[in-house]
């Protein structure tokens, strides 16, 4: 999702930006240098598309200026697929959450170029965003695409999809809302299937123990392309909130 190589983070003078570099709980923050375009987007576009933790619980109708289904994506990386989805499905509102500032800057830049009005962004830890800003029973879909698989067995406990996390998301989904996951690591797919199949209040949209076909509206991401080049399969899991 975020860049893997750690690069020294340049100094920022804006105190409002310093909060984006704090330690996070749900993802490893891998810092990277901002390009001029990304920084310009953070300066110019963030005021209209950026969302802040300290604003508290969101009123989606007020945030987007309309009533529409709301999709939350956790960890959008560089944001290309999220921008594509928002462009292709203008009838939906999208909220992206990402801790990697260059990715946030790139998404804001591309969203502005496309003239999108149905996308908003947090540059914060998803766990904090869910706890402080997302009302219960409000989301139509939560997306988690190609999260860090933590493929070494001793690191499996760091995987974001865990029983407690599933219930945190369930609180935020509407009944009938969907938690949609995708990964190119078979072992992580098996892990997510194991966790979600026994999670209270969910049902597998594809049937018990079955993976979902990739929906046509989910773009092929760079991580998917990389996985396919390496001979990996790709697995989508879609679990609906039933209660």
Q: How many whole angstroms separate alpha carbon 155 and alpha carbon 112?
A: 38
Catalytic residue among 124, 125, 148, 236: 148
Q: How many whole angstroms separate alpha carbon 40 and alpha carbon 25?
A: 28
59 among known catalytic residues: no
Contact 181, 195 (CB under 8 A): no
Q: How many whole angstroms separate alpha carbon 222 and alpha carbon 91?
A: 25
Nearest to 140 by CA among 113, 189, 182, 174: 174
Q: Which residues touch 121 (CB under 8 Å, ≥6 apart)?
A: 46, 49, 50, 51, 95, 96, 97, 98, 104, 107, 108
Contact 42, 34 (CB under 8 A): yes
SS3 call for 140: strand
Concatenated DSSP letters of 167-202: HHHHHHEEEEEEEEEEES-HHHHHHHHHHHHT-TTE
For the annotated catalytic residues, the residue numbers are 148
């Amino acid at each position: 999702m975020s860049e893997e190589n750690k690069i020294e983070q340049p100094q920022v003078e804006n105190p409002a930006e310093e909060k984006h570099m704090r330690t996070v709980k749900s993802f490893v923050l891998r810092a990277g240098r901002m390009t001029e375009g990304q920084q310009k987007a953070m300066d110019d576009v963030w005021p209209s598309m950026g969302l802040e933790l300290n604003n508290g619980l969101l009123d989606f109708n007020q945030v987007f200026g309309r009533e529409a289904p709301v999709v939350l994506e956790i960890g959008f990386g560089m944001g290309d697929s999220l921008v594509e989805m928002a462009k292709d499905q203008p009838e939906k509102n999208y909220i992206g959450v990402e801790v990697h500032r260059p990715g946030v800057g790139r998404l804001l830049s591309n969203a502005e170029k496309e003239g999108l009005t149905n996308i908003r962004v947090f540059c914060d830890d998803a766990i904090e965003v869910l706890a402080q800003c997302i009302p219960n029973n409000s989301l139509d879909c939560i997306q988690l695409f190609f999260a860090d698989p933590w493929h070494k067995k001793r690191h499996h406990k760091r995987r974001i999809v865990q029983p407690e996390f599933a219930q945190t998301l369930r609180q935020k989904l509407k009944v009938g809302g969907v938690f949609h996951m995708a990964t190119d690591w078979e072992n992580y797919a098996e892990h997510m299937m194991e966790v979600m199949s026994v999670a209270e209040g969910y049902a597998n949209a594809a049937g018990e123990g079955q993976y979902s076909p990739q929906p046509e509206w989910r773009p092929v991401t760079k991580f998917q392309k990389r996985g396919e080049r390496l001979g990996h399969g790709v697995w989508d899991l879609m679990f609906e909130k039933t209660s």
